[in-house]
Amino acid sequence: MIQRPRGTRDILPPESRLWAAVEAEAHRVFSGFGYDEIRLPVFEPTELFVRGVGEGTDIVRKEMYTFADRKGRSLTLRPEGTAGVARAYIENGLGQWPAPVRLAYMGPMFRYERMQRGRYRQFAQIGLEILGADTPAADVEILLALHTFLAALGFDDLVILLNNLGDPEDRPRFIARLKEILEPHRAELCGDCRQRWTTNPLRILDCKVERCRELVAEVPPVSELASDATRTHVDAVEAALAELAIPVRRAPRLVRGLDYYLRTVFEVVSPGLGGDTAICGGGRYDRLIADLGGPQVPGTGFAIGEDRLIEVLPSAFRERVLGRPVVALLPLDEGAAVARCFALARELAARGLVTHTEVTRRSLKAALKWAVKLDARAAVLVGANELEAGAAQVRDLTEGSQEAVAFVDVADVVAGRLPGPETVLR
Ligand code: HAM
């Protein structure tokens, strides 16, 4: 048997319905803040990520799905969305649009990661980027949109962790301090961190290995060595969020796994996933577009990990989406009975009910069993007698009662008995 590659998933119904509902909610909330969708290629020139995400990052060093196409060009399945958005901004001249440019995106990303809970090799992100505003207000806006979206899904226990990474100019000072403190213990660092020492020392702060954690506890937080200008910026973000009653927690040791960040960085963690696993990450990247050869245009944004988000989705949202009542339509004959069932299915579906029409010539007894297995709340039976009478038999599968209902009234009667789209879907 051929199996799917490790780290990929099949999202089956009805779980897939949750994905569609989450994405619909994202479109609704984010477009309300002025963010419309940009649809980008799933593969890009490898160089985009090497330059954008950063040569020394774990993503570029060991997690990219890179391949040569038939003409020998090096392409990479996108490991994240921001570099692609920046490329598209430059390539399509979005600098000509009224600034700032607000963009949303969603779709699959690919990273060759070690398998563990909530970590996949193909995973989906939902992200926002705002390009062309270097103000704290732009950071506040994306966090407001994020918070509004999460609240719409019913989350009330998520924590936004916020930090100031400083500007790139502050970094050599910080790295020098970090190395000064860690130098005597350099041999005790894990293999990855010994490599990070030269490629990306900042990432040592983020290592999950116990001994490395103990050692970095001695290093002052990155925010302490950041310039006053960056502190003023992130303090302003924090103050504005407080005004909006959006709770954030300062996380002075938060660093991010991509090189383009400066100043504001943040993550959202869920108690349901454990403190280490972020369901969202983001921050400011004012040099990225220029580093990719474009104009000097600042940006800030985030990406939510949709797989992880769905894993901890509040039960009320799950139930609202998955709880749509099912109605089984059971033609007892071929021909006209089937056509009548389909006509009724069309009316019921239009009212937000989920219909399943029997199309495999089951006997009535078998069809009713099938309906119960589908968890149908009602069955609508149409045979020769019903066609002649102009009325279907509507059976309540919870109570077992049955009544004749004129075809024209079936949709009203069934929808009236079962919660309709207003109560189920909003
Ligand atoms: P990131 O922190 O690498 O940031 O990814 C964002 C989110 O994607 C993570 O918080 C996590 O929920 C999810 N994620 C990442 N890797 C995996 C994985 N292997 N399996 C499941 N979920 C995963 C970025 O990608 C930045 N582009 C975010 C951003 C946008 N910054 C500014 N704008």
Q: pLDDT (tens digit, 9 = 90+) per residue, 45-56?
A: 999 999 999 998
Residue nearest to atom 18 of ligand 1 (CA): 119
At 422 the pLDDT is: 45
Considering the chain, what is the average pLDDT of its residues? Answer: 94
Q: How confident is the model at residue 420 (pLDDT cuts 50, 70, 90)?
A: low
What average pLDDT does range 106-118 have in this prediction? 94
At 73 the pLDDT is: 98
At 70 the pLDDT is: 97
Given ligand 1 and candidates 35, 48, 65, 80, which is best to mutate, with the most ligand atoms within 8 Å of its CB?
80
At 425 the pLDDT is: 41
When mean pLDDT is compared across 6-15, 146-155, 198-207, the lowest value belongs to 198-207
CA atoms within 13 A on the CB side of 316: 8
Closest ligand 1 atom to 278 CA:
10
When mean pLDDT is compared across 181-190, 333-342, 404-413, the lowest value belongs to 181-190
Reduce the DSSP state of residue 392 to 3 states and report it. strand
The pLDDT of residue 195 is above 60: yes
Q: How confident is the model at residue 423 (pLDDT cuts 50, 70, 90)?
A: very low
Q: Give me the torsion for CA of 361, 362, 363, 368, rounded to 10°.
A: -130
Residue nearest to atom 1 of ligand 1 (CA): 281
pTM above 0.85, yes or no: yes
Report how far ligand 1's centroid is from the alpha carbon of 67 (Å): 22
When mean pLDDT is compared across 25-34, 139-148, 248-257, 332-341, the lowest value belongs to 248-257
Q: How far is CA 340 from the centre of its chain?
A: 41
User: Which amino acid is residue 139, in one-letter code?
Assistant: D
At 312 the pLDDT is: 94
Q: Give me the torsion for CA of 46, 49, 54, 60, rounded to 10°.
A: -60
Question: How does strand 326-331 pair with strand 378-382?
Answer: parallel
Which residues sit with their C-beta closer than 6 Å to ligand 1? Answer: 80-82, 111, 113, 118-120, 123, 125, 127, 129, 257-258, 278-283, 301-303, 305, 307-308
At 424 the pLDDT is: 44
Report how far ligand 1's centroid is from the alpha carbon of 125 (Å): 7
pLDDT cut 70: percent of the chain above it: 98
Closest ligand 1 atom to 83 CA:
27
Reduce the DSSP state of residue 249 to 3 states and report it. strand
At 223 the pLDDT is: 87
Q: How confident is the model at residue 11 (pLDDT cuts 50, 70, 90)?
A: very high
Report how far ligand 1's centroid is from the alpha carbon of 305 (Å): 6
Instruction: Name, in order, each residue with C-beta under 8 angstroms of 302's C-beta and a sequence gap of 6 or more.
Output: 127, 128, 142, 143, 146, 266, 280, 281, 282, 283
Cis peptide before 100 (omega within 30 of 0): yes
The pLDDT of residue 419 is above 70: no
How far apart are alpha carbons 77 and 109 in whole angstroms? 7
Given ligand 1 and candidates 101, 130, 308, which is best to mutate, with the most ligand atoms within 8 Å of its CB?
308
Closest ligand 1 atom to 285 CA:
32
Residue nearest to atom 23 of ligand 1 (CA): 305
How far apart are alpha carbons 422 and 281 in whole angstroms? 34
At 277 the pLDDT is: 87
At 115 the pLDDT is: 86
Given ligand 1 and candidates 123, 163, 306, which is best to mutate, with the most ligand atoms within 8 Å of its CB?
123
Instruction: Name, in order, each residue with C-beta under 8 angstroms of 16's C-beta and a sequence gap of 6 or more.
Output: none
Determine which helix (DSSP H) or strand (DSSP E) holds 415, and give its type and residue range: helix 407-417
pLDDT cut 90: percent of the chain above it: 84
Q: How confident is the model at residue 426 (pLDDT cuts 50, 70, 90)?
A: very low
Given ligand 1 and candidates 60, 102, 109, 260, which is best to mutate, with the most ligand atoms within 8 Å of its CB?
109
pLDDT in tens, 376-400: 999 999 999 999 999 999 999 999 9
Closest ligand 1 atom to 125 CA:
8
pLDDT in tens, 264-303: 999 999 888 876 789 999 999 999 999 999 999 999 999 9
Q: Check if the beta carbon of residue 328 is closer than 8 Å to that of residue 379.
A: yes
Closest ligand 1 atom to 284 CA:
32
